[in-house]
A and B are shown apart, each in its own frame.
Chain A
Amino acid sequence: MKSILQASKISKTYGMKGAATYTAIQDLSFSMNEGEFIGIMGPSGSGKTTLLNMVATLDPMTSGEISIDGVSISSMNEDQLSDFRSEKLGFIFQDFNLLENMTVFENISLPLSLQNTKLEKIQASVSQVSRLLGISDLTEKYPAELSGGQKQRTAIARALIHQPALLLADEPTGALDSRNAATLLETLADLNEDRKVSIMMVTHDPRSASYCSRLLFIKDGKLDRELRSRGSREEFHQEILTVLGDLDRRPVAGVRA
């Protein structure tokens, strides 16, 4: 199976040299295959969002190497990173990050507009992806007129329209009620199952995590444990709860320097 993401010995240290520094991620290595749905879990402050931001090329790492879809991002300049993001990555955020001043259609089509795609192609892609997510009736509305679930679907549509190599989601259900959250996660799982979309999701919610095919537990900036889903989703959920309880019981091994 083709590897989509390779992270080797990545570290992230905040603060200036000499002054008080804080290591958020330390010598972390992992890889991800095409078509995987990986979840990143860990208590607050464990460094999971930092990890996602580094993979998302938003936050430069202090040391180490990340390559996505066979391309190393460590040596790219700001413009190259921008282009890389717009071509290879799709984002879903907790607070949707939709642009309120644009219609749903405009929001979804933005990644294609940025690549100067022909209008016919844009229209075809938007109608296809919005049908897939069940929001084709809403394309002329503004985000302010949508419900939370509809907003997040729009965000997913925007993240998918340019067929990115990797879809990154940061607490995507954080702002949704449980019913909308479940629908959203099923959508993500279906996308992963049917269309082989590679997804990496940060979450602290065990139920959300149970939709993943593999989980990475981060603690104090290090990879603490890995868990693979083998049986049903409910079994996986129980397994996750056990691991989390287990993690909480163990004494904290601090890495503050």
Chain B
Amino acid sequence: MITKLALNGLKRKQRDYIILFTGLIISIAVFYMFLTMSLNKEFITQNSVINNIQSVFLVGTVMLSVITFFYLFYTNSFLLSLRKKEFGLYELIGAKKFQIRRVFQIETMAITAISLVIGLTLGILLSLLVSWLLMNGLNVEFTQFKIIYLPAVFWTMIYFLLVSFITSSVHNMRLAKSSIIDLLRSEVQNDIVPEKPKSAVLQIFLGVLLLGIGYFALYFMEQLRFIGLFTAPVATTLGTYLLFVALLPVIVRKWKRNKTVNFKGINSFTSGQLSFRLSNLKWVLATIAMLIALSAGAIAGGFAFKNNAFTSIDEYWQYDTTLYNPGAAETELLNSIPLEEQLTFRFKLDDETMYFVREELVATPPLVKDWVTYDVMRPGSLPENLEIEDGYQIVPDTWMSALETVNPALFGTRNSHIVPLIEYERAGGEEISVMLARTNDFAAHMEKWQELARLQESTYTALFAGFDPETDSVATKYAQFETQYAIASGTFFMGFFLGLAFLTMMASILMFKILSGANNDIRRYDSLRKLGVRRRLLENSIHREILIVFLFPGVLGLLHVLVGMRMFSFIMDDPYYRLWVSLLIFLAIYGGYYFFTVHLYRKIVLPRQ
């Protein structure tokens, strides 16, 4: 009987539940997707490129599970608060406490189970999408990849059922401790009159100071190292909370104090709503600002990694392709690419030494990077007499770089000697020709480089003993790019979906917080309607009010990201490269949540037309 009653109660609060569980479902789907990407065993051993991606997804799984735990804990306490009055009523009519507790536990577990079914289905579709996107992006086949991977299904279920059992047990203990009167009265809550701030100035000052310190630590992370790593999150978080608690009420009060504006139309109502809402929500908003920073940071970080694969590869490699003993096929393909420069060199190698022709190198010196000044340049004049000590030839650094540029695959395997043509011709050993080519845009001709790499495979097998194209690779710009890009793509998807999951959870909480108060607001909007306020005016007020509630955490969160992205500068060339794309993605999702919240809120507080 109690179970039946509880089920009816659940139906009545459907809307609140659906909002809360969108967050849970998205989290389950992403969790499953991450696990599938990182656990697929055959997939790992088959593909060397993928090996690197998997650890990335494992990190993502861990981060997601931590945040999900707190999200579930939070939402479960919401659920309890929604039902408290009803449970009190059951107790009043004679239901035993253990019966009510059982109902709550069963309910929570049932909701998790339903979410699991939907979430896993979505997760399978998500894995399909991401693996397809990765395959296309990396130009590889995932032959062994399983979309429906049972160990991943198993661990996802275990994790979510366990967490929901733990959280509902904790809240059940709270339920057991509260008296009937507490339960029955839980929904009667008076609006607290916003208190006059006493130490607001001090709090704001402290907040700004802490935020400044946090930003300073983020900005100079490279110099501060570990101190920065600890200071940045602590100071930024504290600063954010202080600012929300102290600054928000002051801003609204300042706004209200501008009487000409406040006493125009229903501005006084809008600002009144806001001052109550902001003082009720300040802690939640501060938390949301921090999590927005995390989620937008994850999206932007992943995206920056992907962009970095393109920018950093050009930093290290001046020539887009290095062809060993190029045949007719390679030459033909190369001719179809608009080249900026094309150079050819010869070298001979025996067991100990590689010989390069001095005349060739001096005539067409290749571009090298000076690792002291970071300038791209051609090496200067080559001294006439190059001394040789213990088999090592002493050459200037820039010329050493030039030799590495000319012969990246074998550089370091033997001593390199630059010798005059006459001497070169006298030397024994196999002669190999190398062709270097450069375009003005490496990324534009990716398919050609891949084709060239494939054509070179037979040459590698002939040249290098024991070379297996399936498992080995030769150090070339394209090969390095491929690996780097695979990790970057993995990080990109990981960051994107991690950010998406965070964002869904946070927006769900914000949306829920706003909508659960909407029932109290019905009366207010009804009063205004009776007083003769036009519907349009009411709608405008709703739009503005909710916009500001969304805006504050959004702006501060994004500011954190803008400063925080600099932190990545020690592993990335330009963490801000195309940052606007990820910010745009973030804004689109966040904006979508805003409009949806406005829509639902309007449906609750305004009568049907």
A interface residues with partner B (beta carbon < 8 Å):
56, 58, 78-79, 81-87, 89, 91, 93, 97-103, 106, 109-114, 116-117, 119, 122, 142, 144-145, 158
**Nearest Cβ distance between residue B261 and chain A, in whole angstroms?**
10
Across the interface, which residues of A come within 8 angstroms of B531, CB to CB?
A: 85-86, 91, 110-111, 114, 158
Most buried by A among B193, B524, B532: B532
**Which single member of A56, A142, A144 contacts B530 (CB below 8 Å)?**
A56
248-269 of chain B: CB within 8 A of chain A? 259-260, 262-269
21 contacts between A and B (CB under 8 A): A58-B530, A79-B534, A81-B532, A83-B534, A86-B532, A93-B530, A97-B527, A97-B530, A99-B527, A101-B273, A101-B275, A103-B272, A106-B268, A109-B268, A110-B268, A113-B264, A114-B531, A116-B265, A119-B263, A145-B193, A158-B531
Task: Say yes or no: is B276 at the interface (Cβ < 8 Å to chain A).
Answer: yes
Residues on B facing A (Cβ under 8 Å): 190-191, 193, 259-260, 262-269, 272-273, 275-276, 523-524, 526-537, 609
B264 to chain A, nearest CB (A): 6
* A142-B267 contact given A83-B534, A86-B531, CB 8 Å threshold: no
Complex: A79 Cα to B538 Cα, angstroms: 12
B272:A114 contact, CB within 8 angstroms: no
- Residues on A with beta carbons closer than 8 Å to the beta carbon of B534: 78-79, 82-83
**Which B residue's beta carbon lies closest to that of A84?**
B532
A91 touches B191 (CB 8 A): no
| A114 pairs with B532, CB closer than 8 A | yes
**How far, in angstroms, from A161 to B459 measured CA to CA in the complex?**
95
**Once the chains bind, are B190 and A82 in contact (CB under 8 Å)?**
no
Q: Which of B266, B273, B535 contacts A110 (CB 8 A)?
A: B266
13 extra interface residue pairs, beta carbon distance < 8 Å, beyond A85-B532, A102-B268, A110-B531:
A79-B535, A82-B529, A86-B531, A89-B532, A97-B523, A99-B527, A100-B524, A101-B191, A101-B269, A102-B269, A102-B272, A106-B262, A112-B263
B264 to chain A: which residues have CB within 8 Å? 113, 116
Give the interface SS of chain B, mostly helix, strand, loop or mixed. Answer: helix
Query: Do A113 and B265 contact each other (CB < 8 Å), given the known contacts A97-B523, A99-B524, A119-B260?
Result: yes
Cα distance A103–B264 in the bound complex, in angstroms: 15
Min C-beta distance of A1 to chain B, whole Å: 27
State how many angstroms separate the Cβ of B357 from the closest Cβ of chain A.
Answer: 86
Query: Which residue of the partner chain, among A89, A106, A111, contacts B272 with CB atoms under 8 Å?
Result: A106
Q: Chain A's nearest CB lies how many Å from the CB of B102?
A: 39
CA distance A237 to B265 in the complex (A): 43
The verdict on A101 contacting B266 (CB below 8 Å), with A114-B531, A144-B191 known, is: no
Contacts of A102 in B (CB 8 A): 268-269, 272
Contact (Cβ within 8 A) B528 A113: no
B532 near A101 with CB under 8 A, answer: no
Hey, which chain A residues are within 8 Å of B526, CB to CB? 97
Task: Please tell me if the beta carbons of B268 and A144 are within 8 angstroms of each other in the complex.
Answer: no
Nearest B residue (CB) for A168: B530
Q: Which residues of A contact B523 (CB under 8 A)?
A: 97
Instruction: Give A233 to B527 CA distance when docked, in angstroms.
Output: 33
Given the contacts A91-B530, A97-B523, A122 and B263 also touching, CB distance less than 8 Å: yes
Which residues from chain A contact B259 at a C-beta distance below 8 Å? 119
Contacts of A97 in B (CB 8 A): 523, 526-527, 530
Which residues on the B side are within 8 Å of A145 (C-beta)? 193
A85 CB to closest chain B CB (Å) equals 3
Query: Using Cβ atoms and an 8 Å threshold, which residues of chain A touch B269?
Result: 99, 101-102, 106, 110
Q: Which 8 A-B pairs have the closest CB atoms?
A: A86-B532, A85-B532, A101-B272, A102-B272, A97-B527, A106-B268, A82-B534, A101-B276
Min distance, Cβ A92 to any Cβ of chain B, angstroms: 11
Bound together, the chains give a CA A87 to CA B533 distance in angstroms of 11
Across the interface, which residues of B come within 8 angstroms of A85, CB to CB?
530-532
By a CB distance below 8 angstroms, the chain A residues around B275 are 101
**Contacts of A103 on B, CB cut-off 8 Å?**
272
> How distant is A242 from chain B, measured CB to nearest CB, in Å?
35
Query: In this complex, what residue of A is CB-closest to B520?
Result: A100
List the B residue with the shortest CB-CB distance to A142: B193
Nearest opposing residue in chain B for A57, CB measure: B532
The smallest beta-carbon distance between B190 and chain A, in angstroms, is 6
Distance A114 CA – B272 CA, assembled complex (angstroms): 15
Candidate in B193, B266, B536 with the most chain A CB atoms within 10 angstroms: B193
Query: Which chain A residue lies CB-closest to B261?
Result: A119
Q: In the bound complex, how far is the Cα of B528 from the Cα of A56, in angstroms? A: 14
A163 to B533, CA, bound (A): 17
Docked Cα-Cα span, A170 to B193, in Å, equals 28
A157 to B553, CA, bound (A): 39
Q: Shortest Cβ distance from A196 into chain B, in angstroms?
A: 22
A144 to chain B, nearest CB (A): 6
Q: Are A114 and B266 in contact (CB under 8 A)?
A: yes
Given contacts A91-B530, A113-B267, A119-B263, whether A144 and B272 have CB atoms under 8 Å apart is no
Quick check: B535 and A114 within 8 Å, CB to CB?
A: no
A residues within 8 A CB of B191?
Answer: 100-101, 142, 144
Q: Known: A97-B527, A101-B524, A144-B191. Is A87-B532 also a contact (CB below 8 A)?
A: yes
Residue of A nearest to B526 (CB): A97
**Nearest Cβ distance between residue A114 and chain B, in whole angstroms?**
6
Q: Looking across the interface, which residue of chain B has its beta carbon closest to that of A101? A: B272
Contacts of B190 in A (CB 8 A): 144
In whole angstroms, what is the CA distance A89 to B523 when docked? 19
A120 to chain B, nearest CB (A): 10
Closest chain-A Cβ to B84's Cβ sits at a distance in Å of 23
Give the docked Cα–Cα distance between A89 and B534 (Å).
Answer: 15
